[in-house]
Amino acid sequence: AFEVDLKSKGASIAPDMWGLFFEDINFAADGGLYAEMIKNYSFEFPSPFMGWQRIQEQGAMGYHYTKPHLDESKNKKFLQMQRLNEEGVFGMSNAGFRGMAVKANANYRLTFMARIAKGENLSLKAQLAKGRNILADVNIEGLTRDWQEYEVMLTASETADQVNFKILLEGEGELDIDMISLFPEDTWKGRKRGLRKDIVQLLADMNPGFLRFPGGCIVEGFDLENRYQWKNTIGEMKDRGTMINRWNIEFAHRNAPDYFQSFGLGFFEYFQLAEDLGAEPLPILSCGLACQYNSGEIVPLDMLDEYVQDALDLIEFANGSVETAWGAKRAAMGHPEPFDLKYIGVGNENWGPQYIERADVFEKAIKSAYPEMIIVSTSGPSPDGHEFDYLWKELTARNAELIDEHYYKSPEWFLESARRYDNYDRNGPKVFAGEYAAHSTTEKDALKKNNWEAALSEAAFMTGLERNADIVRLASYAPLLAHVDGWQWAPDMIWFDNLGVYATPNYYVQKLFSTNPGTHTATITANGNTVAGEDGMYASATIDEKAKEIIFKIVNTNAEIRAFDIKFSGNVKGKNATWIELQSDQLDVAHSLKEPKKIAPEEKSVEIQKRVVKTELKPYSVNVFRVKL
Ligand code: AHR
């Protein structure tokens, strides 16, 4: 039998404990969450026509070039289309991010800037087409000799994937055109240049406590020049530029030579998303060390000022009044109220004395200007070995507040590590389990799937995180998003293509924890002992002081049913407990776009008789019980 101690209210659980890790990996931003449909919309990729193709049919004659803008913005180039005759069809087409998809009767907002360089009576036609089948068509007249911005709506006649966007020039002459952007009208909260509604909805449904951004290795970059610099990601699009993505890699199915960042999803949008989700924003910044797996480039300590200033300015951007320089920029983007930033991360998976020396400089500067800011330090890439121990020792000696631990390990490791935090020093730094995922060994190929074996072991491990919520303040699965036709890393919590999205079993595990958190730890035992692996069972309990409930989670990792009496140490209210069950008899079950819900939570009610709930916990099941106090 299990015993749930109703009077065992322990440590408070961080209200933001279960959160999200977002990184622009697997086309998670451009081509994913950020709903822009045109790849290389401003011709700023190093190959300026990547994503674009000239259309020249039925006797049409012409050329296309890029030319330089003469102003100071980061938008350096524009496209010139030259048409030498009026015959046939001439223009440019764009195939989007691993294709482009439209939905029947949905509206797509096209924006661009253009001017006539030569000729009279030039006009444009914008189309969405699948092969010869035109799904949307609009004419744009009234082009002038001065740069002007244009906005038109295209309505798709049917649902289709692998659609092309075409911009066709009609009349003889030369047209300059730039920033050709196409978004569904129906974005999250209906924002222009907004986010994909279906993906954000899945995130919102998790009620996440925090949103960590922008990564991951992406923070560091291949080298320092290509590190993530938040100041390049705010303001008008023409001032954001583009940059190669750290995950622009070339091998096998992970091939992504076309992976760049437009920064349309930039720091303002991340803060705004966190606010929409009711999540604490948690930005991570470069500490002056480029990805140590790549160039390993290091900024000398006496040249670190720019990096530290970026951190200080970011805090002002998030929290400063509109009277401050960076607060004013936030206000100019439409958010005069502060974003109430509480956490700031210094470095990602960095190691060695080089990290410690740089972290010291950041800490001194941040704490003297903003003593209330909570700094997240990194413990290096893996929880095993010397580097990890070294960094923990150094950071503990410095009274670090929160240390970011990452583990991508086998399901067995997750099961064996359910007691990982039982013996952490209660007076030492707190833990941010900032990236974790079980990498299943069931699959023989490289496509590590988000199967039930992985998700179940994560659930078992997470009972250990919850039991130790006095130490583990924050936790997030990683990575969050992946495009089914353009990923570099698996497993991932949510998968999508250009038309649809599905949540993995791992998502449902995360959601069970994040939507059933509790305010304080409580005790659930079996024969007086913590339940952390004995006989394949794992359990944790919490009290929710606001809802006046006791919540407990029991994971059965056995292949058979386990029957248990769950006894309460005192009286509970009501005659029934709510029982949410997530289960599969098969460990290798995974979801797909076609079969998105093979494993999904089922809610039922179970009788409480004389302070006892009788249960039969199914094989391979995650069970959450809620009981009124
Ligand atoms: O989540 C994928 C990568 O794993 C992250 O970018 C990095 O921090 C870790 O190594």
Distance 378 CA to ligand 1 centre (A): 12
Q: Evaluate whether 590 touches 504 at the Cβ level (below 8 Å).
A: yes
pLDDT, tens digit (0-9, with 9 covering 90-100), for 230-239: 999 999 999 9
Helix axes 352-369, 305-319, angle to 10 degrees: 40
Instruction: Pick the closest to residue 142 from 180, 161, 115 (CA basis).
Output: 115
Instruction: Pick the closest to residue 620 from 539, 534, 537, 563 (CA basis).
Output: 537
Matching residue, tokens 């000239």 = 54
* Interatomic CA distance for residues 17 and 15, integer angstroms: 6
Q: Evaluate whether 479 touches 21 at the Cβ level (below 8 Å).
A: yes
Catalytic annotation, residues: 349
Ligand 1 atom having least distance to the Cα of 218: 6
User: Does pLDDT of 431 surpass 80?
Assistant: yes
* Interatomic CA distance for residues 98 and 194, integer angstroms: 19
pLDDT of res. 515: 98
| ipTM (interface predicted TM) | 0.99
Rg, C-alpha atoms of the chain: 27
Instruction: Pick the closest to residue 402 from 11, 9, 12, 17 (CA basis).
Output: 17
Question: Cα dihedral angle (265, 269, 274, 278), rounded to 10 degrees?
Answer: -130
Neighbours of 399 (CB within 10 A): 10
Distance 434 CA to ligand 1 centre (A): 10
pLDDT of res. 30: 97
Would you say the CB of residue 23 lies under 6 angstroms from ligand 1? yes
CATH homologous superfamily of 52-184: Galactose-binding domain-like (2.60.120.260)
* Interatomic CA distance for residues 125 and 493, integer angstroms: 40
Q: pLDDT class for 197, splitting at 50, 70, 90?
A: very high
* Interatomic CA distance for residues 43 and 65, integer angstroms: 10
Matching residue, tokens 């349309």 = 264
As given in the structure block, the two tokens for residue 229 are 């610099």
Q: Which amino acid is at 325?
A: A
Phi, psi angle pair for 363, to nearest 5°: -60, -45
Would you say the CB of residue 26 lies under 6 angstroms from ligand 1? no
pLDDT of res. 548: 97
* Interatomic CA distance for residues 406 and 380, integer angstroms: 8
pLDDT of res. 293: 83
DSSP code of 28? S
pLDDT of res. 241: 87
Region 101-109: what's the mean pLDDT? 98
As given in the structure block, the two tokens for residue 488 are 């570099």
Q: Which amino acid is at 128?
A: L
Taken in order 556, 560, 561, 567, the sign of the CA dihedral is negative
Q: Which residues does residue 164 pair with via DSSP β-bridges, in sequence order?
A: 129
Instruction: Pick the closest to residue 169 from 68, 61, 52 (CA basis).
Output: 61
Would you say the CB of residue 457 lies under 6 angstroms from ligand 1? no
pLDDT of res. 445: 55
pLDDT of res. 446: 56
The rounded mean pLDDT for the chain is: 96
pLDDT, tens digit (0-9, with 9 covering 90-100), for 571-606: 999 999 999 999 999 999 999 999 999 999 999 999
Neighbours of 370 (CB within 10 A): 17
Matching residue, tokens 């209660």 = 426
Nearest residue by C-alpha to atom 6 in ligand 1: 216
Would you say the CB of residue 124 lies under 6 angstroms from ligand 1? no
User: Does pLDDT of 338 surpass 80?
Assistant: yes
pLDDT, tens digit (0-9, with 9 covering 90-100), for 478-516: 999 999 999 999 999 999 999 999 999 999 999 999 999
As given in the structure block, the two tokens for residue 52 are 């674009």
Would you say the CB of residue 478 lies under 6 angstroms from ligand 1? yes
Neighbours of 103 (CB within 10 A): 15
Phi, psi angle pair for 576, to nearest 5°: -135, 155
User: Is omega for the bond preceding 479 within 30 degrees of 0, making it cis?
Assistant: yes
Would you say the CB of residue 221 lies under 6 angstroms from ligand 1? no
* Interatomic CA distance for residues 555 and 316, integer angstroms: 44
pLDDT, tens digit (0-9, with 9 covering 90-100), for 522-564: 999 999 999 999 999 999 999 999 999 999 999 999 999 999 9
pLDDT, tens digit (0-9, with 9 covering 90-100), for 148-157: 999 999 999 9
Distance 217 CA to ligand 1 centre (A): 5
The architecture of the domain spanning 2-11+522-628 is Sandwich (2.60)
* Interatomic CA distance for residues 538 and 521, integer angstroms: 15
* Interatomic CA distance for residues 104 and 196, integer angstroms: 17
Measure CA 77 to chain center.
30
Taken in order 589, 591, 594, 596, the sign of the CA dihedral is positive
pLDDT, tens digit (0-9, with 9 covering 90-100), for 51-100: 999 999 999 999 999 999 998 899 999 999 999 999 999 999 999 999 99
pLDDT of res. 251: 67
Give the whole-number percent of the chain exceeding pLDDT 70. 99
Would you say the CB of residue 435 lies under 6 angstroms from ligand 1? yes
Would you say the CB of residue 333 lies under 6 angstroms from ligand 1? no
Nearest residue by C-alpha to atom 4 in ligand 1: 216
Q: Evaluate whether 270 touches 283 at the Cβ level (below 8 Å).
A: yes
Distance 460 CA to ligand 1 centre (A): 22
First to last CA, the chain: 21
pLDDT, tens digit (0-9, with 9 covering 90-100), for 162-179: 999 999 999 999 999 999
pLDDT of res. 89: 98
* Interatomic CA distance for residues 148 and 42, integer angstroms: 15
Give me the residue spans of the domains in the chain. Answer: 2-11+522-628, 20-35+188-516, 52-184
Ligand 1 atom having least distance to the Cα of 23: 6
Would you say the CB of residue 215 lies under 6 angstroms from ligand 1? yes
* Interatomic CA distance for residues 288 and 297, integer angstroms: 8
* Interatomic CA distance for residues 354 and 346, integer angstroms: 13
pTM for the model? 0.97
- For residue 391, give the 3-state DSSP assignment: helix
Distance 115 CA to ligand 1 centre (A): 44
Ligand 1 atom having least distance to the Cα of 408: 4
Number of residues that this document lists for the chain: 629
pLDDT, tens digit (0-9, with 9 covering 90-100), for 443-470: 655 567 899 999 999 999 999 999 999 9
Cα distances from 108 to residues 53, 96, 129, 138, 165, in angstroms, run: 21, 14, 13, 11, 11
Would you say the CB of residue 217 lies under 6 angstroms from ligand 1? yes
Report whether CATH 3.20.20.80 matches the domain 20-35+188-516. Answer: yes
* Interatomic CA distance for residues 439 and 436, integer angstroms: 9
Ligand 1 atom having least distance to the Cα of 349: 8
pLDDT of res. 384: 86
Q: Evaluate whether 215 touches 233 at the Cβ level (below 8 Å).
A: no
Ligand 1 atom having least distance to the Cα of 246: 6
Nearest residue by C-alpha to atom 7 in ligand 1: 216
pLDDT of res. 464: 98
What DSSP letter does each residue of 217-271 carry, written as one string?
GGGT-SSGGGS--GGGGSSSGGGT--EE-TT---SGGG--TT-EE--SS-HHHHH
DSSP code of 24? S
For ligand 1, mutation pick of 388, 408, 432, 487 (most atoms within 8 Å of CB): 408
As given in the structure block, the two tokens for residue 218 are 């992406």
pLDDT, tens digit (0-9, with 9 covering 90-100), for 362-411: 999 999 999 999 999 999 888 888 889 999 999 999 999 999 999 999 99
pLDDT, tens digit (0-9, with 9 covering 90-100), for 297-326: 999 999 999 999 999 999 999 999 999 999
Ligand 1 atom having least distance to the Cα of 435: 1
Would you say the CB of residue 480 lies under 6 angstroms from ligand 1? no
Distance 349 CA to ligand 1 centre (A): 8
Region 422-437: what's the mean pLDDT? 97
Phi, psi angle pair for 378, to nearest 5°: -105, 145
